[in-house]
Structures are given as C-alpha cells and as structure tokens.
Amino acid sequence: MLSFPSSRRIWLARSPTDMRRGIDTLVSMVVGELGGEPRGGDCFVFVGRDQRRLKVLVWDAGGYWLCAKRLDVGTFAVPRCDDPAAVRVDLSAVRMHLLLGRHRCARCAVSQTHGALRSLCAPACWGGADTAV
C-alpha cells in the first residue's frame, strides 16, 4: 500500500475521470480544471465514472508517479462533498487510506468495513472534516 505523509496534501477530483488518461493529460487537468500545482508535491486522486478505477498522480524529485488501482469487485467509497461548486476535495491521509481500502463507517451504509479502520472513520464520518475547494 502507498503511504501518504501528513506534509503532503491529497486532492480528490470531484468529477469522474476518463481512466484512459495518462500522465500528461492528468497534469493538464490538474492545472486547468483543479487549479493545482502538479509539481508542488501534492497528490491528485482521480476516480473513474464506474468508481472501480482510481489513479493517483504525484510529483517526485525527478518526475511524475502515476499509480492505478482497479477493483475486481465492488466500488471505491468516494467521500461526499456538500459544496456543488467544488472541483476538488482535500483528503486527510487517513481518509485516503480508507478510500483505497474501500472502507466506510456504518453510517455511510456501504459494505466492506473493517473494525480497526472503522474506528478511525466514525468520529467525523466521510462528510465531516474534509474540505472542498
């Protein structure tokens, strides 16, 4: 599993992304649509329309990393955002790990919960502490 230090911001694109996109197209999407700086060290997360595919784009010293994950069963538990005008959501490292593991707390009504991770999610749930931009 990937690690996400607290010093690195994690941005989740709100709109579904065409998972055929590669590094160059995702970089232009970060600049043009998300208003981010792709070489700033932040992580940019993109989820496909069917929520079975996810990509993470990050700049590291000499170039870009593009990590992809495709689920065989189920979908990613993408956090909700109450602001309809937001183009991205700022995720904490804990919520990113929950997203990658498809874990949500019982209040979110999605299967695949895991007791140890559920206790991390329960206080604020998915609609809580993350901020939209």
Ordered by start, the domain boundaries in the chain are 10-132
Q: Which residue has the higher pLDDT, 60 or 128?
A: 60
Residue 39 region by backbone torsions, left for phi larger than 0, else alpha for psi between -120 and 50, else beta: alpha
pLDDT in the model for residue 80: 79
55-113 pLDDT, tens per residue? 999 998 889 999 999 988 888 888 877 888 889 999 988 888 888 876 444 444 444 44
pLDDT at 1: 53
pLDDT confidence band for 43 (50 / 70 / 90): very high
Structure confidence at residue 123 as a pLDDT band (50, 70, 90):
very low
Query: How far apart, in whole angstroms, are the C-alpha atoms of residue 28 and residue 38?
Result: 9
Residue 20 makes CB contacts below 8 A (sequence gap 6+) with: none
Cα–Cα distance between 12 and 104 in angstroms, integer? Answer: 16
**pTM for the full model?**
0.74
Q: Which pLDDT does position 2 carry in this prediction?
A: 64
Amino acid sitting at position 88: R
How many C-alpha atoms does 91 have within 13 Å on its Cβ side? 28
In 3D space, the residue among 102, 104, 89 whose CA is nearest the CA of residue 43 turns out to be: 89
Residues 6+ apart with CB under 8 A from 52: 70, 71, 74, 75, 76
* pLDDT tens digits along 10-32: 999 999 999 999 999 999 999 99
